[in-house]
Amino acid sequence: MRQTSLGIILILAACSSAPAATPLDDLAAALAPREVRWQFLPPQVTGAFVGRGGRCFYLQGGDRTNEPSVSDSGLVAPGFRPLLLDGRGRLWCLPPDASAIYGVKDGSMQQVRPAAGAFFGTEDEVNGARRTRAAAYEDSAGRVWFGNSRGVQWLDGDRLLAKDLADPNSIDVSVPMSAVRIAEDEVGRLYFWARWTRKGVCGTTGFWMFDGKEWAHFTTHDGLPDDRLEAVCPTGGDVVMLNTAAGRLALFNVNRTDPGQEIGRLVGLLNSAEWRVRDQATQELIGLGRGVELELRERLAQSEEPEERSRLKMVLTALRAPESGRVRIPGGDSECDSIRVRPTALRRRPAGKAEWVAVATNVLRAGDDEAADRAAFVLSADAAVRIEGWPAPDEADRVSVLPADDGGLWIGVQGRGLFFWDGDRTREISDETTRGYNDILGYDGLGRLLLGNGAGVAAYWPGRPDEERQAKPTGR
């Protein structure tokens, strides 16, 4: 595979080891976990990062150092933000100017630089609030990825490679980039896309797929309902669920080899005795896109089965107007005006069944007289479980979400604190003292939940006693 115009520089060097000051020793001691339900970390700690295995790293305030370094207690040199702890134990960090990414391990440092004029840091805007984000991901093959909507670069062992993701006919290098999103399916195929977050910021046209050897690019010419995507969600096999920027859902088959054979398989399921099988096949036929419309018309003309004819007409209607009407929420009896899947912030492929959190507007459930203004769901390809008591009706995008080990869901809501959904109901965890800590940073190896408020860090340890808090929370 050739290297494209996105440049990469790799530097191996000895990390300078500055003598540790006494305050640093005191700070390291103060980070030790205490057997209390809530622990507020010292005010010098402005943020935290939880890597693989629950290993914690802590951001420090103060003047930026020239080079990144990591202490034995996980303190990162001031000014550097951890992005990824890879399988080799190297911590990848971003400086404030996002001009490079540094990988630190033992006495060595790797440096990766973007293309000329580009930066790794991008800004996403949600409900008028801007957040700086930098993409970092390690796939199941051990490749480490960075990038933005302009392109990605990755380390494959000792090889340094890059790939342009932008359409050269529709973008200028001066146009601000948006954050690239990365998802992985069960066989290790990777999916890349970037949202068009606001006017003047460029996302990707459709999405890209990489199978470890070859790249494929999918757009409306291949049957996508829209070239601007909110999320690409692998559902198993060759099917991905697409969430468009307009708030629609569609299933799309990435297998381009023989669409006729796939059509035959799916049409054969339209008369299944199980409603869910018929419904899934209907949605997958819609996901094949407008390119199959002629063949479906021919099959409709040949069909004599009422259920099959009815569903083929449904598919053809959807293909003619894919962005009109209300959205059916998978696997249930609810529909909505629009639905938005929260793009994953995971740095590795999750274990188990692929699920996502989605927020829908004007939701109407069969049998209900009135529609809910907003509702949230744990969504998979064929089912949606409503999160009863969703705590963010008005600012649902300003939340952070983390799956719990027992199948529940931690929910952090800006201005309202921490909540927990156990699969049945949602309960509030925070009180008036801790309500400002809503940014969920991750689980550590002890089962503590680390939370930020933009200026400080608190650790919540379920099941521990509410002892007297020995440190005051850090406010903005």
Q: What is the pLDDT of residue 158?
A: 79
Q: What is the pLDDT of residue 295?
A: 87
**Residue 40: pLDDT above 70?**
yes
Domain coverage including residue 201: 1-18+65-218
Within a domain: residue 361?
A: no
Q: Do 48 and 182 lie in a common domain?
A: no
Count how many domains the chain has: 2
Q: What is the pLDDT of residue 393?
A: 58
Within a domain: residue 224?
A: no
Of 93-107, 263-277, 278-292, 372-386, least confident by mean pLDDT is 278-292
Within a domain: residue 343?
A: no
Residues 276-332 pLDDT 10s: 889 888 888 887 777 788 889 999 999 989 999 999 998 888 777 655 578 888 877
Which residues, at least 6 apart from 135, have a Cβ–Cβ distance to it below 8 Å?
120, 145, 146, 147, 148, 152, 179, 180, 181, 182
Structure-token pair, residue 132: 């700086």
Question: Of 17 and 260, which is predicted with more confidence?
Answer: 260
**Residue 365: pLDDT above 50?**
yes
Of the chain, the percentage scoring pLDDT greater than 90 comes to: 34
Cα-atom radius of gyration of the chain, to the nearest Å? 24
The pLDDT mean for the chain works out to 82
Q: What is the pLDDT of residue 192?
A: 95
Q: Do 212 and 89 lie in a common domain?
A: yes
Q: Do 53 and 72 lie in a common domain?
A: no
Rounded to an integer, the average pLDDT of 369-375 is 84
Looking at 164, 198, 218, which one is the last position of a domain?
Answer: 218
Residues 396-446 pLDDT 10s: 457 888 888 777 899 998 888 999 999 899 999 999 889 999 999 998 999
Q: What is the pLDDT of residue 123?
A: 67
Q: Do 8 and 45 lie in a common domain?
A: no
Number of CB atoms found within 10 A of residue 207's CB? 26
**Residue 14: pLDDT above 70?**
no
Q: Do 192 and 47 lie in a common domain?
A: no
Of the chain, the percentage scoring pLDDT greater than 70 comes to: 82
| Closest by CA position to 46, among listed 25, 91, 77 | 77
Within a domain: residue 9?
A: yes
Q: Do 125 and 197 lie in a common domain?
A: yes
Q: Do 6 and 155 lie in a common domain?
A: yes
Within a domain: residue 303?
A: no
Question: Of 137 and 370, which is predicted with more confidence?
Answer: 137
Which residues, at least 6 apart from 266, have a Cβ–Cβ distance to it below 8 Å?
281, 284, 285
d(CA 445, CA 142): 22
Q: What is the pLDDT of residue 13?
A: 37
Q: Do 49 and 127 lie in a common domain?
A: no
Residue 261, CB half-sphere, CA atoms under 13 Å: how many?
4
Q: Do 84 and 42 lie in a common domain?
A: no
Q: Do 43 and 174 lie in a common domain?
A: no
Within a domain: residue 320?
A: no
Question: Of 34 and 470, which is predicted with more confidence?
Answer: 34
Rounded to an integer, the average pLDDT of 179-206 is 87
Q: What is the pLDDT of residue 309?
A: 92
Rounded to an integer, the average pLDDT of 99-111 is 89
d(CA 293, CA 271): 20
Residues 53-98 pLDDT 10s: 899 999 988 888 888 999 989 999 998 999 999 999 999 999 888 8
d(CA 384, CA 377): 6
Q: Does residue 74 contact residue 55 with C-beta atoms inside 8 Å?
A: yes
Most confident of 172-176, 202-206, 403-407: 202-206
Looking at 187, 218, 249, which one is the last position of a domain?
Answer: 218
Looking at 218, 238, 258, which one is the last position of a domain?
Answer: 218
Rounded to an integer, the average pLDDT of 177-188 is 89
Q: What is the pLDDT of residue 20?
A: 40
The DSSP-derived string for 280-337 is: HHHHHHHHT-GGGHHHHHHHHHH---HHHHHHHHHHHHHHHSTTSSPEEPTTSSEEES
Within a domain: residue 161?
A: yes
Q: Do 5 and 135 lie in a common domain?
A: yes
Q: Do 123 and 9 lie in a common domain?
A: yes
Rounded to an integer, the average pLDDT of 163-191 is 79
**Residue 18: pLDDT above 60?**
no
Q: What is the pLDDT of residue 78?
A: 92
Q: What is the pLDDT of residue 476?
A: 47
**Residue 470: pLDDT above 80?**
no
**Residue 362: pLDDT above 70?**
yes
Most confident of 155-159, 254-258, 305-309: 305-309
Within a domain: residue 450?
A: yes
